[in-house]
Structure 1
């Protein structure tokens, strides 16, 4: 089964270390080499040729992701200057001997829908067919046509992209699952009724949980690799929610330490059983494979216990 993972905010040595933890399971790694300037042009960061070569020695495709990091102004600047930006991406791929680009522009609206699709068309046109163009799209289990979800024209994006990476996470706006199995399945079903081949869909998994402090609406993302130590430190209680196939931990911080003010917290996260439930959906609907955000946040044991056994 095809597997890709994003890599965000790290040094070159971190890329290699985390890739080596996967035991050869990954096909594609998408590091954060491509950023957007205020004028909509391309900004390269950390694109070290030695790191790229080291990843190639590990038989990986290197497909950097281009992101506006939720900044709507940057996203719209990119679309306004999309002809130039698409050319710059093409040039960077050629100069650095990269395998393509993953386009991860978020927080636009239905007003940007056509321009965004046209940008993907331009990127595809400027890159050799053997190179990959993929697009990260918002999960849309309820068929929303306005706001962020409305900016993604699944059907037409799939005509230009090798695959769409469905960001099936960040489900809950108050204390609740990061990606319940029912919500994820509805997201897959929505994508499939957009006249898209299952082999053009990659299901995105979160390698993090979300934590809410009682009385506050904002959540904090917590890497799965840190979850158990946090719960243990604060004597938290864990339950497995069968319906969502997720775990919920409740703990109380009695003395303010570091980033944790005093209070009661609810942390929703995933374990191996949760991940397997999502993998079964990929198999059920015959999707292309799996994506994940982001490499280095996971418990490294999952590469052996879950992903190596697909």
Structure 2
């Protein structure tokens, strides 16, 4: 999180699947529609098995390949059984027996088994063309003609066409990828989007920020935990209405004041959890908010399971209203309260989206000067989270701030927080020249003043562009920025 004297939360908010968000190109996601399906190491079913997936699991689609023509044949090897063969190819024992007209279950080494395939068919409609059908099923006209022996010019309505089987490569967990049959996966397009957190400004500046192109979602700080009332509510209906008129979605932030004792007081008591959830639901529905971002930090490790339970309960209450839940998580580190208390896999299953706080590599009180978020550090953080959460559910944090590090003659380091706008102004006023730092993939400036060394690892369009490249590389859902107004308006175009 963004740290002043302590740490101030940064948030990224997700957008529900059914609503369109104006922003960058969508991400392709595959949802397993078969009761079970096998992910292979290549687009050949004879390849090794990566894992077995079950209906309902979703993963980003990396690419698609056509299946190789002809039947899939398995040659029985020592130790093979019908069960093992069927499991390897993601089919049932009965399907294998039926395809090969087997009466019993006995196999012999060298026996050739035909593996059944789930064929996709399309019934031709009056307005259909081969081009239209090929595009709809992500295949080629030549493959349609070859598989069906049809006239390339005239299609007869009512004709059933066999769609050539293909394979999708999915980005799985634990850094793995796997190829699955296209017929076992339902593809969807999900919009990427940009979010900005509303912070530290006046009413007029907030209204102006709502007109920023490239900003899709705004997030005001409305809710915090409280000993007296369990939850403090600070809604702004006027802002919510203005955001809606500007075409922006509103996802309020719900924080825990970074207080582990207060958080334990709420999370460990089922009655307190339900009272908080009831208050949140009432407020979110009344303000017509589309979602909520839960930003609990500095949690006692003993509440690790309680936190997942709370998110599960919150999700259950908000889902009927179409209100989505996103949860902030820190980049993995050794701190038991700030990192170890987060069950990222459990939270990823319970919530709709997980927000990776990709900043504060060097925090405000760090004894060592350095980047707020170097590219290698950010890249590694994404890969660590991808071991537990699918990429299309992850939102990457981008800092619209940096720090000016000041080192005195004794070697003692202190820092001053600088927004992108403030940093650019300082560079102009002091006539500094940016130099590229390969180790962080950022621009860098330094100068001496009053015998002290000043260093800034600059956040600008160059660093933002490289972060967005990571979003595309790892098939993440989108980005967000701390905070709206911290950077020039044109920087948002880099994130589109």
Distance 1:278 1:32 in 2: 25
After superposition, the CA RMSD in angstroms is 2.1
Aligned ranges 1:208-247 → 2 under 5 Å: 208-214=401-407, 215-236=411-432, 238-247=434-443
Residue among 64, 67, 78 paired with 2:255: 67
Decide whether the 8 Å contact of 1:238 with 1:247 is kept in 2: yes
Within 5 A, what are the aligned runs for 1:149-164? 149-164=339-354
Aligned to 1:165: 355
Q: 1:42 to 1:273 in 2, by over 3 A?
A: same
1:135 is the counterpart of 2:327: yes
Measured after TM superposition, the shift of residue 54 of structure 1 is: 1.0
| Structure 1 range deviating more: 53-62 or 107-116 | 107-116
Correspondent of 1:102 among 284, 289, 293 = 293
Counterparts of 1:220 and 1:74, CA distance in 2: 30
Q: Which one has the largest radius of gyration?
A: 2
Distance 1:19 1:49 in 2: 15
1:265 matched residue in structure 2: 454
Within 5 A, what are the aligned runs for 1:112-151?
Answer: 112-129=303-320, 130-140=322-332, 144=334, 146-151=336-341
Contact 2:215 2:492 in 1 (8 A): no
Secondary structure, counterpart of 2:372 in structure 1: coil
The 8 Å contact of residues 394 and 478 in structure 2, kept in 1 or not, is answered as yes
SS of 1:93 mapped into structure 2: helix
Q: CA contact under 8 A between 1:39 and 1:78: conserved in structure 2?
A: no
Verify: 1:44 aligned to 2:237, yes or no.
no
Q: Deviation digits for residues 8-62 of structure 1, max 9, x if unmatched?
A: 2334433221121x21x233211111122234722122x2212111100122211
Q: Which runs of 5+ in 1 are unaligned?
A: 255-261
Aligned to 2:281: 90
Match for residue 185 of structure 1?
Answer: 379
User: In structure 2, how many angstroms separate the alpha carbons of the residues matched to 1:101 and 1:85?
Assistant: 13
Distance 1:247 1:75, change over 3 A: farther
Distance in 1 separating the partners of 2:380 and 2:401: 21
Residue 109 of structure 1: how far off its partner (Å): 4.0
Q: Corresponding residue for 1:259?
A: none
Aligned mates of 1:208, 1:155 — CA distance in 2: 29
Cα gap change, 1:247/1:145 in structure 2, threshold over 3 Å: closer, same or farther? same
2:392 maps to 1:205 = no
Closer, same or farther: CA 220–289 of 1 in aligned 2, 3 Å = same
| Deviation >6 Å, runs of 4+ | none
Contact 1:235 1:251 in 2 (8 A): no
Structure 1 pair 145/176, CA: closer, same or farther in 2 (3 Å)? closer
- For normalisation by structure 1, the TM-score amounts to 0.87
